[in-house]
């Protein structure tokens, strides 16, 4: 895909942004099906102290927590963690466990001389309740255990908040990607994304069978080729996704020093990447939500900027371009990494010939 001058980070992961950690907790029975068994979970992004944050909500049916707090005009400037969870609105209970974990460690907004704090944990949900038993969804304990497991290396695919995810007619899941920016005002800055792909829209081109975020030109770099026409015809006969509530959620992050307003622009740009990999995107049946984080640890050279513009504008421009790229790649990664759950076919199952050398 055409994009900014970048190279992939060391892990090709959200945690290539130094200081960010990711943890999963899920419930999954091997014999889970649509309507029975356990198949849900949550994912937590743990942020270092001083991380600025914002959010952009585009879908027509969002399920969120603490998103108003992230408006650039509002007082709180930083977050401690971000929750991505299954279980629809019920799953927001997992944020209580994340707050409990943070409070035990004295992390949050200081409230008084006695050391009391209020952790800031925004979150968003996907609708996965029909996958497995409707009554099994993330709880406070799931959130606690997910953040307790946060680490630089983490699983992707049908894990955490992606256990019950479906991406159109194929299995969705958790995907991640990163980029390190090349020569320019943001040289050396890292931009990365983690996405839970659960859209009502399709994630592959019905004309070629390739993921929308890949295409002919880049197929070889993903180790893909257009699948056999017979496989494509069989996949299209499956029709459309059956559930009416869906949603793709995620986090875009950078180590650039950005304000809340700058983070908001990064979240907005990230949705461009979502729309490249999912068609249609931002539908009335989705609650598409992207959080943006900026840790501010990267050093960038000073650049002259006209007085009418913010000083971080050249860096912000480069970060926004990369944000769209890494979100697209994270969604493709989620689809290619997914493993079967509850009889939902994976992309690899539908198109085995796409992976033929």
300-325 pLDDT, tens digit per residue, is 877 777 667 776 788 999 999 999 99
- Burial 125-144, CB ≥16 within 10 A → b, else e: bbbbbbbbbeebbbbbebbb
Select from 3.40.50.300, 3.60.70.12, 1.50.10.10, 3.90.78.10 the CATH code of 6-201+241-346.
3.60.70.12
Average pLDDT on 143-158 reads 98
Task: Indicate the angle between helix axes 313-337 and 260-277, nearest 10 degrees.
Answer: 40
Q: Given this model, what pLDDT does residue 245 score?
A: 67
Rounded distance between C-alpha atoms, residue 172 and residue 203, angstroms: 9
Q: How large a percentage of the chain has pLDDT more than 90?
A: 84
Task: Indicate the angle between helix axes 140-148 and 94-104, nearest 10 degrees.
Answer: 50
Task: Give the pLDDT confidence of 72-101 residue by residue, as tens digits.
Answer: 999 998 999 999 999 999 999 999 999 999
Average pLDDT on 191-196 reads 98
- Whole-prediction pTM: 0.95
Give backbone dihedrals phi and psi of 353, rounded to 5 degrees, phi first.
Answer: -70, -20
Domain residues of the chain, as ranges?
Answer: 6-201+241-346
Q: Given this model, what pLDDT does residue 356 score?
A: 74
Give the burial class of 279: count Cβ atoms within 10 A of its Cβ; 0-12 exposed, 13-18 middle, 19 or more buried.
middle
Rounded distance between C-alpha atoms, residue 131 and residue 28, angstroms: 10
């Amino acid at each position: 895909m055409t994009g900014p001058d970048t190279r992939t980070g060391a892990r090709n992961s959200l945690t290539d942004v130094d200081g960010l950690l990711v943890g999963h907790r899920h419930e999954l029975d091997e014999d889970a099906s649509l309507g029975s068994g356990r198949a849900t979970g949550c994912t937590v992004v743990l942020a270092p102290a001083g991380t600025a944050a914002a959010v952009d909500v585009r879908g027509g049916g969002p399920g969120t927590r603490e998103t108003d707090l992230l408006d650039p005009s509002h007082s709180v400037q930083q977050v401690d963690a971000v929750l991505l969870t299954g279980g629809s609105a019920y799953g927001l209970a997992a944020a209580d466990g994340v707050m409990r974990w943070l409070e035990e460690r004295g992390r949050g907004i200081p409230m008084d001389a006695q050391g009391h704090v209020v952790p800031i944990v925004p979150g968003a949900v996907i609708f996965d309740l029909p996958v497995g038993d409707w009554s099994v969804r993330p709880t406070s304990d799931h959130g606690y255990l997910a953040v307790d497991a946060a680490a630089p290396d983490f699983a992707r695919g049908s894990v955490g908040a992606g256990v019950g995810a479906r991406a159109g007619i194929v299995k969705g899941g958790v995907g991640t990607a990163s980029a390190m920016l090349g020569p320019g005002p943001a040289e050396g800055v890292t931009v990365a994304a983690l996405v839970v792909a659960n859209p009502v829209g399709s994630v592959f081109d019905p004309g070629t069978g390739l993921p929308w975020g890949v295409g002919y030109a880049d197929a070889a770099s993903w180790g893909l080729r257009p699948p056999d026409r017979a496989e494509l015809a069989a996949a299209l006969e499956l029709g459309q996704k059956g559930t009416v509530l869906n949603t793709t959620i995620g986090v875009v992050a950078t180590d650039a020093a950005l304000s809340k307003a700058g983070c908001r622009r990064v979240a907005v740009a990230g949705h461009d990447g979502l729309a490249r990999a999912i068609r249609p995107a931002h539908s009335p049946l989705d609650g598409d939500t992207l959080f943006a984080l900026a840790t501010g640890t990267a050093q960038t050279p000073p650049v002259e900027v006209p007085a009418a513009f913010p000083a971080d504008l050249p860096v912000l421009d480069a970060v926004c371009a990369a944000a769209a790229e890494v979100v697209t790649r994270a969604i493709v990664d989620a689809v290619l990494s997914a493993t079967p759950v509850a009889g939902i076919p994976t992309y690899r199952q539908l198109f085995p010939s796409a992976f033929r050398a």
